[in-house]
Amino acid sequence: MHFAQDGITMEGKKENILARVRQQVPALSSKMNGEPLVYLDNAATTQKPVQVLDFLSDALKNRNANVHRSMYELSDRSTSAYEGARERVRRFINAPSRENVIFTSGTTASVNLVASCFCSKFVGKGDVILIEADSHHSNIVPWQLAAERAGASIKVIPTDVMTGSGRSGRLDLEGLDGLLSDNVKMVAVTQISNITGLRNPVSQIISAAHSKGIAVLVDGAQGIVHEKVDVQAMDCDFYAFSAHKIYGATGVGVLYGKKELLEAIPPYMGGGDMVETVTYDKTTYASLPLKFEAGTPNFIGAASLTPALDFAEYLRNGEVGEALGSEEERIVSYMMDKLDTPGIEVYGKPDSICGKSPIFTFNIESINAGDLAQLLDKMGIAVRSGMMCAEPLLNTFGAVSALRASFAPYNTLEEAETFVRCLERARTMLS
Ligand code: PMP
């Protein structure tokens, strides 16, 4: 009853909070094809709050100078904003120091960096990289490329669908200990699957891997939005996420790494800013984090992580967090209930091991997911269709494409109801 005060009902107060939050994200009150936009493609990218939009425009006007290079005021301002954002990220994920926080161009770039540099240092012929069946392509392909160069191979933690023990679509961890053999050098896991929306028990996987001295990278592209992340408590060796999925700019990502590992692996790209001294024969590298930030970074985009993460924290704390959290719980149970219908197959059902985030991927019997998405678009609803960069997982489910509705904390139950109503209409039209 936290928000029932002064005669305002709990529901009324919650509605006010939701309206206040949504007013701060201008795209949410736009129209699409003549209808109010219902934006349910947040797993692909999020809409931006005014704080981020204003910040970007102000930075381009008043702080646009290259970072770390010059002795003039404008450049100092830009460097402070860039390094300030690094500190903001450090605090958001509870990294021990700013040296652990590398700016990249996105989750994909962060995973590629680790795959390339970690494997060139620590992985050799006959070694194994363990990935998950529910991985996004960007947590599969970089490992394949690096494993091929190192003469190593890839093994996969299966889903329960593969092993036949039901069809919740979650990882099957029963055989994990057996998979963690001596020659496994890295386990690349996903905190929340962008298909099933299931919250993987990453801490369990990390402690199993660490008990055998194996390093773990966590793909937090979806996890960073829907879970409070503490990299020290999680004890992951590397953690990757993208700014654009958590209300920040595109073309910016973060790689967190443990200091001893970041120091042990070679740089990824060579160029300006990542060096200490350069001669024609030899280069010594800058210390962390700049060792991994060759060239001019997306300094304005990276700096936008400060207002973006402020906004993310505002959404999850206090009475706002309470209101949005309870709305999200209702959305998840409403959607799972409505999708539990004959002719609809949902990929990813929660159970005692994996909770469900508000990401819903499914197929309707005999209807093409792309056709559904196009019809829904005409009704103002933006959802994703296709493989969602997870072809192996969809194939495991016996699908070649699917429809995905992914909610952010700023979405409402009312939007879920509109979605379900429009889906039923589209289904009737296409049947
Ligand atoms: N991993 C997961 C789980 C994702 O959902 C995504 C984006 N859909 C990525 C990685 C890749 O992120 P980006 O395209 O921002 O690099």
Query: Does 47 contact ligand 1 (Cβ within 6 A)?
Result: no
Q: How far is CA 12 from CA 59, 327, 417, in A?
A: 38, 13, 18
pLDDT of 1 above 70: no
Does domain 54-310 match CATH 3.40.640.10?
yes
Contact call for residues 17 and 337 (beta carbons, < 8 A): no
Whose alpha carbon is nearest atom 4 of ligand 1? Answer: 221
- pLDDT at site 7: 60
Q: What is the pLDDT of residue 8?
A: 74
Residue-wise pLDDT tens digits, 297-321: 999 999 999 999 999 999 999 999 9
Q: Catalytic residue positions?
A: 389
d(CA 246, CA 47) in angstroms, rounded, equals: 9
The span from the CA of 227 to the CA of 224, in Å, is 6
Ligand 1 centroid to Cα of residue 233, in Å, is 23
Q: What is the pLDDT of residues 384-402, one digit of tens each?
A: 999 999 999 999 999 999 9
Say how many Å lie between the CA of residue 276 and the centre of ligand 1.
33
User: Are 210 and 259 contacting, i.e. CB atoms less than 8 angstroms apart?
Assistant: no
Nearest CA to ligand 1 atom 5: 194
Average pLDDT of the residues in 228-247: 98
Predicted TM-score of the model (pTM): 0.97
What does the alpha-carbon distance between residue 156 and residue 169 come to, in Å, rounded to a whole number?
Answer: 15
- Nearest atom in ligand 1 to the alpha carbon of residue 242 is 15
Question: Under CATH, what is the fold of the domain 10-48+319-430?
Answer: Aspartate Aminotransferase, domain 1 (3.90.1150)
Separation between Cα atoms, residue 111 and residue 141, nearest integer Å: 10
Q: How big is the chain, counted in residues? A: 431
Read off the pLDDT of each residue in 292-296 and give the average, rounded to a whole number.
97
pLDDT at site 35: 97
* Ligand 1 geometric centre to CA of 241 (Å): 8
Regarding the beta carbon of 41 and ligand 1, being less than 6 Å apart is answered no
Residue 233 confidence (pLDDT) above 70: yes
What are the residues whose beta carbons fall under 8 Å from the beta carbon of 398, sequence distance 6 or more? Answer: none
Residue 3 pLDDT exceeds 60:
no
Q: What percent of the chain shows pLDDT beyond 90? A: 95
Q: Whose CA is nearest to atom 6 of ligand 1?
A: 221
pLDDT tens-digit profile of 24-35?
999 999 999 999
Give the distance (Å) from ligand 1 centre to CA of residue 256: 16
What is d(CA 56, CA 52) in angstroms, rounded to the nearest whole number? 6
- For the CA of 110, the closest atom of ligand 1 is 16
Which tens digits make up the pLDDT trace of 102-153? 999 999 999 999 999 999 999 999 999 999 999 999 999 999 999 999 999 9
Q: Where are the domains of the chain?
A: 10-48+319-430, 54-310
- From 111, 136, 357, mutation site for ligand 1 pocket: most ligand atoms within 8 A of C-beta: 136
